[in-house]
């Protein structure tokens, strides 16, 4: 549309008649649509773009402007080549269209780039004023229709619009607060970018003046008549760019002071973070060395610790150079004893190091309670450290000393906290492992007690009663102690509760139990177990021993105590189908008053002060002497005897369960065929 308008204007004759007036209005309308749509499209594109830093915003603008100038130069070259040819006026029209289009894209893109820079610090009032500013820019497009031959727009409105726009341009040009947030390096980059933008802007104006062949007419069109929108935008860009360049120039000398203060705060925070992020003292020492080196702009640094009397970290200096500098003087001990830094302003060194390092600062790293070490800083100029350096660097060293002295305490606190969390979980889990109640004494009389050597243990017992009055009783002892054992206990309980309710014979049950628990146990882990199935109606019992302590059986009728010592492998030792071959069930006839004593090795392996074990014989003797007691009383007597023998010191978990066959049994056909 722009090209068609330019070609039409080039081929038209400036006669004042109705046809010429109509053609002029059409051309102005096309130009209005061109400027209006470009203004809105570029605005929409910049509003949808993500937030970026100044460098990322201005760099593409320089690319757009540079590419535009190259294209304009090519267009000018082509138009010069076609002078005095039939297509001369058409080429000139094309050149004019390209120049205006590229200038519009460059101006509007830079206009909304500056908008994003201005709103680096958001403000509601600023947003509202900018919207008014944009609306006034759009109204200024109407001045396209102002010509000598027309009076569509009142003259007072034109000047009023110009003055208001000028006021807004000056107002928004004062928003340069983003400069304070730039580092010295970023300010230099911003200064160069803004200078490049200003140069491109001036070059565009010069080339546009050359294209129109009347610079005065171009300036009048920009700031008064036809292209007032471009004039207002150009004025804003020129004022804002120049003002920003001046502010950047005046802020450069003070930037280093602000950066030093920010670096000091960041360095102290970095040292503090070294405690939170890691428990390794090497990391804190490395962080301290880096902070000291950068914070003082030193040439070299090394750190010595008092514990090993050695250099644990160095940077910018070799070991042989360190030896030549200290020359046998123990600066570390001196600063730690005096609790003050040592500053050598003029470091006279003979040999190859002469001239490389001129001043040295030694900082003590210590607290009131402990001497940790010393930090050595070197500069290649005399009197390289000011009083501000000494103050800040001493604070860094004190902070690092506090971090290092608290390192061990923090590590222990973390370990203890984790242990407490694991212990709480394990306690809660283990409290739910044991059965909350046993069958009443009419069906089966059971009493169990368990004491852990630690807060949590690896012993387990459980009872399941089926609908046909059969009782399945399991006692287990997980290898190891602590949280791991408690977790495997939980898995054992789940498996036992699932399998124990399925009607299967003893060998199939033990084989399935071994397969299931083997899939859960870690490598090298196993569980010893004793499994007892009691069939009350048929007065039968079946016992399996899977590597566990032998169960004691009291035959009430014959007054005889017997050990059930059949062979068997622990659960998880053999993890295949061959496990069945290592199962040897013991079948028993039961009668009222019979008792089964199931326990873990913590009872028989309890030791006295001389290292002697309690043993099976003492347990057997204790049972026989007190067999007349109730199972509750007998359980208490056995545990009391073990505690007296071991002196109340439990090296392992102690678990004891006594099962007594109740009276009034009604025999029926045996469950086990002959």
pLDDT tens column, 544-591: 999 999 999 999 999 999 999 998 999 999 988 889 999 999 999 999
Q: Which residue has the higher pLDDT, 228 or 70?
A: 70
Give the helix/strand (H/E) hosting 294: helix 281-296
In the sheet with 560-564, reading across from the earlier edge strand, the strands are: 445-451, 654-660, 595-599, 551-555, 560-564
Decide which of 156 and 347 is more confident.
347
Domain 278-405 is in which class?
Answer: alpha beta
| In the chain, domain spans | 2-256, 278-405, 429-660
Nearest alpha-carbon partner for 492 in 571, 583, 598: 571
Residue 48 has pLDDT above 90, yes or no: no
Please report the pLDDT score of residue 211 as a whole number: 56
Confidence of residue 531 (pLDDT cuts 50, 70, 90): very high
pLDDT band at 149 (very low <50, low <70, confident <90, very high): very low
**Band of residue 148 on the pLDDT scale cut at 50, 70, 90:** very low
Given the DSSP bridges, would you call strands 371-379 and 300-305 parallel, antiparallel or unpaired?
antiparallel
181-195, 247-261, 420-434, 632-646: the lowest-pLDDT one: 247-261
Cβ proximity of 79 and 52 under 8 Å? no
Please give the C-alpha separations between residue 552 and each of 211, 379, 543, 612, 654, in angstroms, as whole numbers. Answer: 114, 83, 11, 22, 16
Query: CB-based contacts of 172: which residues, under 8 Å, 6+ apart?
Result: 118, 129, 130, 133, 236, 240
Q: What is the mean pLDDT of residues 653-660?
A: 90
Which residue from 615, 599, 619 is spatially nearest to 607, judged by alpha carbons?
615
Looking at residue 53, its pLDDT comes to 75
Task: Return the pLDDT at 286.
Answer: 79
- Is the pLDDT at 671 greater than 50? The verdict is no
pLDDT of residue 552: 96
| pLDDT higher at 163 or 142 | 163
DSSP string covering 118-144: HTTS--HHHHHHHHHHHHHHHHHGGGG
Q: What percent of the chain has pLDDT over 90?
A: 18
Is 33:5 a contact under the CB 8 Å cutoff?
no
Range in 23-32, 96-105, 130-139, 519-528 the model is least confident about: 23-32
Q: What is the pLDDT of residue 150?
A: 45
Q: How much is the average pLDDT of 338-354?
A: 76
Residue 623: closest CA among 604, 638, 640, 644: 638
pLDDT for the residue 592:
92
Residue 406 CA, chain-centre distance (Å), reads 24
Distance between CA atoms of residues 658 and 448, nearest Å: 6
Buried b (16+ CB within 10 A) or exposed e, 244-272: bbebbeebeeebeeeeeeebbeebbebbb
pLDDT at 353 over 70: no
Q: Is 84 helix (H, G, I), strand (E, B) or coil?
A: coil
Whether pTM exceeds 0.85 = no
For residues 158 and 180, what is the distance between their CA atoms, to the nearest angstrom? Answer: 38
Q: Do 65 and 104 form a contact (C-beta atoms < 8 A)?
A: no
In 3D, which of 108, 104, 100 has the Cα closest to residue 209? 100
pLDDT band at 255 (very low <50, low <70, confident <90, very high): low
Please give the structure tokens belonging to residue 164.
Answer: 């208001």
DSSP alpha helices (H): ranges in 49-87? 54-81
> How much of the chain is helix, strand and coil, in % rounded to 5?
55, 15, 30
Cβ atoms of 480 and 458 within 8 Å: the answer is yes
Predicted confidence at residue 204, as pLDDT, reads: 78
Residues 6+ away with beta carbon under 8 Å from 404: 281, 284, 285, 365, 372
Please, which pLDDT band fits residue 131 given cuts at 50, 70 and 90? confident
Reply yes or no on whether the pLDDT at 265 is more than 60. Answer: no
The position carrying tokens 């409105």 is 157
Question: What per-residue confidence (pLDDT) applies to 240?
Answer: 86
Mean pLDDT of the chain: 78
Gap between the Cα atoms of 496 and 546, Å rounded: 14
Instruction: State the pLDDT at residue 253.
Output: 67
- Per-residue pLDDT band at 113 (split at 50, 70, 90): confident
φ/ψ of 278, rounded to 5, equals -150, 155
The CATH code belonging to domain 429-660 is 3.60.40.10
Sign of CA dihedral 516, 520, 521, 522: positive
Task: Considering only residues 655 and 186, tell me which one the structure prediction assigns the higher pLDDT.
Answer: 655
pLDDT for position 14? 42
Q: What is the pLDDT of residue 277?
A: 47
- Residue 279, pLDDT > 70, answer no
For residue 405, give every residue at least 6 positions away whose Cβ sits within 8 Å of its Cβ, in sequence order, or none: 367, 369, 370, 372
Give, rounded to a whole angstrom, the gap between the first and last alpha carbons of the chain.
Answer: 110
Give the separation between CA 633 and CA 628, rounded to whole angstroms. Answer: 10
**What pLDDT does 667 receive?**
44
pLDDT for 263 equals: 55
264-269's contacts with Cβ under 8 Å and 24+ in sequence apart are: 264/295, 264/392, 264/395, 267/291, 267/294, 267/295, 267/396, 268/395, 268/396, 268/399
Q: What is the pLDDT of residues 483-509, one digit of tens each?
A: 777 778 888 888 888 888 887 888 999
Task: Give the C-alpha separation, 518 to 520, whole Å.
Answer: 5
Q: What is the helix (H) or strand (E) element at residue 408, kind and residue range?
A: helix 407-431
pLDDT one-digit tens code per residue, 202-249: 887 777 665 555 555 555 555 555 667 777 788 888 888 888 888 888
CA dist list (Å): 660 to 434, 493, 634, 642? 19, 23, 12, 22
């Amino acid at each position: 549309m722009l090209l068609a308008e330019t070609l039409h204007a080039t081929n038209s004759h400036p006669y004042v008649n109705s046809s010429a007036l109509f053609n002029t209005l059409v051309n102005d309308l096309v130009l209005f649509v061109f400027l209006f749509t470009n203004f809105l499209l570029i605005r929409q594109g910049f509003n949808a773009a993500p937030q970026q830093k100044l460098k990322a915003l201005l760099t593409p603008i320089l690319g757009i402007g540079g590419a535009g100038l190259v294209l304009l130069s090519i267009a000018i070259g082509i138009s010069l080549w076609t002078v005095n040819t039939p297509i001369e006026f058409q080429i000139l029209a094309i050149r004019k269209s390209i120049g205006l289009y590229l200038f519009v894209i460059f101006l509007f893109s830079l206009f909304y780039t500056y908008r994003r820079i201005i709103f680096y610090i958001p403000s509601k009032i600023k947003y509202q004023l900018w919207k008014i500013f944009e609306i006034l820019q759009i109204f200024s497009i109407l001045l396209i229709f102002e010509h000598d031959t027309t009076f569509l727009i009142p003259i007072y409105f034109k000047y009023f619009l110009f003055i208001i726009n000028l006021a807004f341009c000056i107002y928004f040009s004062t928003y340069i607060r983003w400069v304070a947030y730039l580092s010295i390096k970023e300010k230099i980059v911003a200064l160069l970018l803004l200078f490049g933008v200003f140069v491109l802007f001036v070059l565009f104006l010069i080339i546009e003046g050359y294209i129109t062949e009347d610079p005065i007419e171009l300036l009048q069109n920009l700031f008064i008549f036809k292209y007032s929108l471009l004039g207002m935008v150009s004025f804003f860009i020129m004022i804002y760019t120049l003002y920003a360049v001046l502010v950047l120039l005046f802020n450069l000398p003070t930037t280093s002071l602000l950066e030093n203060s920010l670096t000091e705060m960041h360095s102290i925070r970095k040292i503090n973070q070294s405690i939170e992020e890691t428990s390794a003292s090497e990391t804190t020492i490395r962080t301290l060395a880096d902070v000291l080196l950068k914070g003082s702009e030193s040439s070299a640094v090394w750190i010595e610790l008092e514990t090993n009397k050695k250099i644990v970290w160095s940077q910018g200096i070799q070991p042989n150079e360190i030896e030549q500098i200290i020359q046998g003087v123990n600066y570390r001990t001196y600063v730690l004893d005096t609790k003050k830094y040592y500053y050598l302003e003029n470091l006279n060194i003979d040999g190859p190091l002469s001239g490389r390092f001129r001043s040295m600062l030694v900082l003590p790293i210590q607290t009131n309670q402990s001497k940790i070490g010393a930090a050595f800083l070197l500069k290649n100029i005399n009197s390289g450290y000011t009083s501000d350096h000494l103050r800040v660097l001493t604070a860094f060293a004190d902070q690092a000393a506090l971090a290092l002295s608290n390192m061990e305490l923090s590590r222990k606190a973390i370990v203890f906290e984790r242990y407490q969390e694991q212990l709480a979980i394990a306690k809660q889990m283990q409290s739910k492992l044991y059965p909350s109640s046993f069958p009443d004494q009419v069906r089966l009389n059971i009493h169990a007690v368990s004491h852990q050597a630690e807060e949590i243990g690896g012993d387990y017992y459980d009872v399941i009663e089926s609908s046909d009055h059969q009782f399945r009783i399991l006692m287990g002892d997980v290898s190891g102690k602590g949280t791991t054992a408690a977790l495997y206990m939980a898995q054992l309980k789940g498996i036992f509760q699932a399998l124990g309710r399925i009607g299967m014979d003893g060998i199939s049950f033990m084989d399935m139990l071994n397969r299931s628990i083997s899939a859960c146990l870690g490598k090298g882990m196993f569980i010893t177990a004793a499994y007892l199935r009691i069939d009350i109606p048929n007065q039968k019992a079946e016992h399996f021993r899977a590597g566990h302590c032998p169960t004691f059986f009291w035959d009430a009728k014959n007054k005889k105590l017997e050990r059930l010592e059949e062979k068997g492998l622990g659960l998880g030792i053999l993890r295949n189908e061959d496990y069945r071959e290592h199962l040897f069930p013991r079948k028993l006839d039961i009668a009222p008053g019979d008792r089964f004593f199931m326990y873990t090795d913590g009872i028989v392996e309890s030791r006295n002060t001389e290292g002697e074990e309690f043993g099976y014989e003492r347990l057997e003797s204790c049972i026989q002497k007190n067999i007349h007691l109730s199972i509750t009383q007998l359980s208490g007597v056995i545990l009391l005897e073990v505690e007296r023998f071991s002196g109340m010191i439990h090296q392992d978990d102690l678990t004891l369960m006594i099962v007594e066959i109740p009276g009034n049994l009604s025999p029926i056909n045996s469950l086990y065929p002959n």
